[in-house]
Amino acid sequence: MVLTNLGFFVFQSYYIIFLKKSGLTYTDISVIFFANFIALALLNFPSGNFADKYGRKRAVILGTLISGLGMIVYGLTSLFLVFLAMEVVLALASSLLSGSVEAWFVDSIRAEKCESEAERTFSLTQGVSYFLGLLAGIVGSIFAVFILSLPMVVGGIIVLFAIGVVAIGFRENYGDVGSGFRAHVGESLRHFRDSPALERLTAGEMLRTAASLVYFIVYQPYLVAIGLGEQYLGLFFSCLMVASAVGSLISVRLVRFSRRYLVLMVMSGLLLTAYVLQPFAHDVVLSAFLFTVCGFANGVAIPAIMVWRNNLIPSRIRASSLAVLSTLLNTGNALMTIVLGPVADGTSLQVALLLGALLAALAMPFYYLAHLKEQAAPATTSFAQAK
């Protein structure tokens, strides 16, 4: 996670501004992101099944290899069609990695009979990974001084080093190896339909992640437009990652002192507040602070969501079920990006931020409804009970 995230964060530190400098409009960016999210939605089913049936470690190695090579090619082009193709390639890599890493992690923790440590450990590893974003922003700034595409290439090279760590340090684990692809998908879909809490939790996440996508796409050109020098974007990215790391590290404490649904509602509320205030913040420092609040909210939300949804999913179809959820989330993100680009081009970035505020507001009640459904019919699958 550290190496992969470090490489990804170096890649991401100048990502949007690199696309803008390559001549893409916000509509162009929304089209290539749309291709990425649609590809993710289509590929998550087979990749989740591949991980359950043939091994989560194998899926992670393959996904890491594809990811690293895709990032390198991304940084070596300025052509729209190549960007489009690489977004699909990176979607394939992400579909192999996302559910596989989480499923591998959860079931490895279970195998060590340390289920109670899952939430704390995941929060810690997420926090450490985000703190690497501090280094990534500095590295990205250094390389961007020479050529704006260098952070993408260097990020891909760093990711490739993770393959050795996975090959040496991971012990293989599996889901249900006896059932075929259609059986896995069918059971995962039935489980999703039969779990009202999981349905509502997923709906809330579809809205929250779509809202979070707004600040990711907007913050770099927005800060440059109000006066931040491009050379400082990497340093701001470091601050953004530190805020996400702090959020991730305190996530478990917040959940223990409160409840998951309340924490997630408050984090959506922070996104809402930051987006609504941003158009009135004409000072670069204040604007940067509001975007940092968005990073903090995202850092808190991810560990809380990870544990909550895994409590609702049985082990034998964990990667496949996570793939189902990821498909739904990425479909929502695809719809969001195809709307966001024309909105930003046709109106203003401030209007795009208000769209994000609306999505964050709509997410909040779904977390409460998921909590009510879970209380009405407690999950029979947890880290300790899943068969």
Convert the pLDDT of each residue in 186-197 to its tens digit: 777 788 888 888
Q: What is the pLDDT of residue 381?
A: 43
Q: How far is CA 33 from CA 68, 140, 213, 225, 336, in A?
A: 18, 22, 10, 22, 10
| Distance, C-alpha 149 to centroid of its chain | 22
| pLDDT greater at residue 383 or residue 170 | 170
Q: What is the dihedral of CA 194, 198, 199, 204, to 10 degrees?
A: 170
Residue 149: pLDDT over 80: yes
Q: What is the mean pLDDT of residues 268-286?
A: 92
Residue 210 near residue 333 (C-beta atoms within 8 A): yes
Q: How far is CA 376 from CA 244, 372, 379, in A?
A: 33, 6, 9
Phi first, then psi, for residue 108 (nearest 5°) are: -70, -40
- Cα distance between residue 213 and residue 225, in whole Å: 19
- Cα distance between residue 209 and residue 327, in whole Å: 13
Place of tokens 């594809």: 66
Task: Kindly report the three-state secondary structure assignment for every residue of the chain.
Answer: CHHHHHHHHHHHCCHHHHHHHCCCCHHHHHHHHHHHHHHHHHHHHHHHHHHHHHCHHHHHHHHHHHHHHHHHHHHCCCCHHHHHHHHHHHHHHHHHHHHHHHHHHHHHHHHCCCHHHHHHHHHHHHHHHHHHHHHHHHHHHHHHHHCCCHHHHHHHHHHHHHHHHHHHHCCCCCCCCCCCHHHHHHHHHHHHHCCHHHHHHHHHHHHHHHHHHHHHHHHHHHHHHCCCCHHHHHHHHHHHHHHHHHHHHHHHHHHHHCCHHHHHHHHHHHHHHHHHHHHHCCCHHHHHHHHHHHHHHHHHHHHHHHHHHHCCCCHHHHHHHHHHHHHHHHHHHHHHHHHHHHHHHHCCHHHHHHHHHHHHHHHHHHHHHHHHHHHHCCCCCCCCCCC
Position 335 confidence tier, pLDDT thresholds 50, 70, 90:
confident
Q: What is the pLDDT of residue 135?
A: 83
pTM to 2 decimal places: 0.76
Q: What is the pLDDT of residue 176?
A: 65
Q: How far is CA 336 from CA 209, 324, 352, in A?
A: 10, 19, 11
Phi first, then psi, for residue 380 (nearest 5°) are: -90, -10
Residue 56: pLDDT over 60: yes
Place of tokens 């995230």: 5
| pLDDT greater at residue 297 or residue 332 | 297
AA letter at 372: L
Q: What is the mean pLDDT of residues 326-337?
A: 85
> What's the CA angle centered on 314, arms 67 and 48, to 5 degrees?
25
Convert the pLDDT of each residue in 74-119 to its tens digit: 999 889 999 999 999 999 998 888 767 777 877 777 777 776 676 6
Quickly name the fold that domain 2-170+180-374 has. Answer: Growth Hormone; Chain: A; (1.20.1250)
Q: What is the pLDDT of residue 386?
A: 40
Listed by start position, the domains of the chain span 2-170+180-374
Convert the pLDDT of each residue in 346-371 to its tens digit: 888 889 999 999 999 999 999 999 99
